[in-house]
Chain A
Amino acid sequence: MEKERHVLVVFPHPDDEAFGVSGTIAYHVQKGTPVTYACLTLGEMGRNLGNPPFATRESLATIRKKELMASAKALGIQDLRMLGFRDKTIEFEDEKTLTDLIYKMILELNPSLVITFYPGYSVHPDHDATGRAVVSAVGRLPKELRPKLYCVAFSNNCEKELGSPDVIIDVSAFAEQKLATIRAHKTQTALFYDEFSKKLNKKDPDAFKWLHYERFWSYKWTD
């Protein structure tokens, strides 16, 4: 994999970076590439409050902000930007305002690689809306000046409609960091992590594959 100039990651929720992308982020950080992570919300509307509860709807934002900072630290991300939108509301924001914001970041950082969600194939409305804004922002640049745009997709129909992911990154060297960043978001990932650890202990091939390989679809431009 070539060394990137700057990597810009744009997702709506703390922990979106942990699941399918953290190994790739760790890889670029290790190569010495600056990584900026722009996280649109603090996941204020997250559903996991614990049993017994460790948070309330009102304290969740502060807790998840700390988790996000811990996750960024685990990955070595030096430029973490929290953009201050509210969980669940991205699709209702003014699209031009969002696109302008991301476009400005692209002009400022001049990334050679941008990572976001594939609009239409990312299940959560915040994911799709974030992906749409990033695609519009990158699309404002003339084709030859556009950074690479890698998208995460996981809707049930994504492979049927988009085909197989064209970018598969071996992140096995960063598995521990990947697990650390998932653990950093413990309020949201504890249930997942317990189950996943069991699968890993049983040497479940799918869990192993998920941990060691990250999959992206290059955005298919129509122009």
Chain B
Amino acid sequence: MQLIDKTIVQNYIDSFANKEIFIHLETTNGAYASHKDESFLNAGAFIRNAKIRFSLGKITGEGPYRIGLKLDSGWVYGEGLTHFERDEKGRLLMAGLNSKGQLAIALELSETPFD
């Protein structure tokens, strides 16, 4: 993965518009956050291989970036995105990594289901 280039990522997002695609969306603080600090509320979520279709998708911000995808009847939203890669399967893999390289958010789009 490399640091997000907004123009490139915007073009990639556009290439997934108006198609039935699969999404992986995840946020995490790490499984040990509340172990290290008992006052910390550990919250996170992931959804993998949900099928979506969006008509409009945008990347915004000056980095870390935000992404919003407008669905027929709803939205997908993610913030804190720093890195991206278009992998060999044509999937758009985006992540927000902190200064230690730890993932805080992943947002991935694919025309085929994720493994």
Which residues of A come within 8 Å of B, CB atoms? 45, 47-53, 56-59, 61, 88, 123-126, 155-156, 191
- Cβ–Cβ < 8 Å partners of A56 in chain B: 1, 85, 87, 93, 95
Contact partners of B93 in chain A: CB under 8 A: 56-58
Which chain A residue shows the least CB distance to B114?
A58
Task: Answer whether residue B69 sits at the interface, using C-beta atoms and an 8 A cutoff.
Answer: no
The reply to whether A191 and B100 contact each other, CB–CB distance below 8 Å, is yes
Closest to B101 in A: A51
Pick the contact of A53: B30, B35, B101 (CB < 8 A).
B101
Contact flags (1/0) for B17-51 with A, using CB distance below 8 Å? 00000001010101110010010000000100000
Number of interface residues of B (CB under 8 A): 27
Nearest CB on A from B78, distance (A): 13
Closest 9 CB pairs of A and B: A51-B101, A50-B101, A53-B1, A47-B102, A124-B31, A57-B106, A56-B93, A123-B35, A47-B103
- Cβ contacts A to B, 9 pairs, < 8 Å: A45-B28, A47-B103, A48-B100, A53-B97, A57-B108, A61-B115, A88-B31, A126-B31, A191-B100
Q: How far is the CA of A58 from the CA of B103 in the complex (A)?
A: 12
CB neighbours of B46 from chain A (8 A): 45, 88
Collect the chain B residues with CB atoms within 8 Å of residue A50's CB.
101
Residues on A with C-beta less than 8 A from B99 are 51
CB neighbours (8 Å) of A156 from chain B are: 35, 38
Q: A56-B1, A58-B108 are in contact. Are A49 and B35 (CB under 8 A)?
A: no
Q: A47-B102, A47-B103, A51-B99 are in contact. Are A57 and B32 (CB under 8 A)?
A: no
Q: Are B32 and A124 in contact (CB under 8 A)?
A: yes
Closest Cβ of chain B: how far from A124's Cβ, in Å? 5
Q: How far is the CB of B29 from chain A (nearest CB, A)?
A: 9
- With a CB–CB cut-off of 8 A, which chain A residues contact B32? 123-124
Residue on B nearest A51 in the bound complex, by CB: B101
**Alpha-carbon gap, A145 to B2, bound state (A):** 55
- Which of A49, A88, A126, A155 contacts B1, CB < 8 Å? A49
Query: Which of B26, B93, B100 has the largest count of A CB atoms less than 10 A from its CB?
Result: B100
Contact of A49 among B87, B97, B114 (CB under 8 A): B97
Distance of A125 Cα from B108 Cα, bound (Å): 25
Specify which chain B residues have a CB less than 8 angstroms from the CB of A57 in the assembled complex: 24, 26, 93, 95, 103, 106, 108
In the assembled complex, how far is the CB of residue A216 from the closest CB belonging to chain B, in whole angstroms? 19
- Kindly state the separation between the CA atoms of A59 and B108 in the bound complex, as whole angstroms: 13
Closest Cβ of chain B: how far from A44's Cβ, in Å? 9
How far, in angstroms, from A212 to B101 measured CA to CA in the complex? Answer: 30
- Contact flag A49-B102 (CB < 8 Å), given A56-B85, A57-B26, A57-B108: yes
List, in ascending order, chain A residues with CB within 8 A of B26's CB: 45, 57
- Chain A residue with the shortest CB-CB distance to B3: A52
In the complex, given contacts A48-B102, A53-B101, A61-B115, what are 14 additional A-B residue pairs having Cβ atoms less than 8 angstroms apart? A45-B26, A47-B30, A49-B1, A51-B99, A51-B100, A56-B1, A57-B95, A57-B106, A57-B108, A58-B91, A59-B87, A88-B46, A124-B32, A155-B35
